[in-house]
Structure 1
Amino acid sequence: MTSRQILDSILGLPENERAEIASALIDSLDTDRWTDGDLVAEAKRRERAVEEGSARYLDESEFHVGIRRG
């Protein structure tokens, strides 16, 4: 089964079950990879990119389309 097939199956589940899976996936991530300072630096970098015109903010529907594309 591909990751896309798994995702499609998960998206068909009730919201509470999807939330449980999402929580388990987040808990499985390497949380030591990002420090608070790293997250702030990344947020500032992205803000600069928007201000400089090399990136733009997405509205909610654009965000969801991008997520679905992978």
Structure 2
Amino acid sequence: MELIFKIALFPIYVLNILYNTLRRELYYAGVIRRKIVLKKAVISIGNINLGGAGKTPLIIYIARRLVI
């Protein structure tokens, strides 16, 4: 059963790789650009993770430093 799913989804997998590769190369070549240009800097904290990684205290610290 698992093999059937792998075989059925393989063409979608290949198309996804081709699309992402083409998009990345066009971006690097300057053919396409970001659609959104932000006026302010963005700070990204952490990655997708369940609780306990310490992101909230870090965000509070950074926010306080930026306000003061």
Shorter chain as denominator, the TM-score bin is 0.3 to 0.5
Which of the pair has the greater relative contact order for Cα pairs under 8 Å at 6+ separation? 2
Structure label with greater radius of gyration = 2
Q: Which has more helix, going by share of residues?
A: 1
- For normalisation by structure 2, the TM-score amounts to 0.34
